[in-house]
Amino acid sequence: MSRDNARTPMPWTPQGGFTDGTPWLPMNPTTPTINVETDAADPDGVIAYYRELISLRHDLPVVQTGRFELLLPEDERLWVFTRTLGDQQILVIANMTSSLASVPMAELPAMEDARLLLANVNTGHDLQTLQPWETRVYELAV
């Protein structure tokens, strides 16, 4: 038994790796379409999303040093928190499941003037339902 049974080499290019050598593990059959090179060129890919997250951290001091407050700590599906710094506040709502999740809006800060800063799923502006694994970051009016 080893962890190699559940792993494949990192597919850096559609051809596989960054070497002409033969990896000791077989490449995943999705390597021609799911790989780092292809994702890096996709404006809606994972790498682009992480770049946006990093940009938020650099651009908004509230992300770096704001006071953290966990909301809905008993909810096993949602991870919800605010970060507050002076007159800046952000709200992060994440569905941590593979199913749709209803958001208990009455238990969250006021969202009337909220501005969506980042989302990993384009579902419009239905504030009350999150898609599986969906995360949203809002700037709130304080």
Q: What is the pLDDT of residues 6-33, one digit of tens each?
A: 777 888 888 887 777 777 778 888 889 9
Rg (CA), the chain: 19
Each residue's pLDDT tens digit, 87-137? 999 999 999 999 999 999 999 999 888 999 999 988 776 788 999 999 999
In 31-118, alpha helices (H): 36-40, 46-59, 61-65
HSE at residue 117, side-chain half, CA atoms within 13 A, is 20
Give the span between the Cα atoms of 92 and 110, in whole angstroms: 13
* pLDDT, averaged across the chain: 90
CATH of the domain at 122: 2.60.40.1180
Is residue 34 a part of any domain in this protein? no
* Of 90, 96, 54, residue with least CA distance to 77: 96
Q: How far apart are the first and last CA of the chain?
A: 54
Task: State which residues form the domain around 92.
Answer: 62-140
pLDDT at residue 17, rounded to an integer: 75
Q: Is residue 80 part of a domain?
A: yes
- Give this prediction's pTM: 0.81
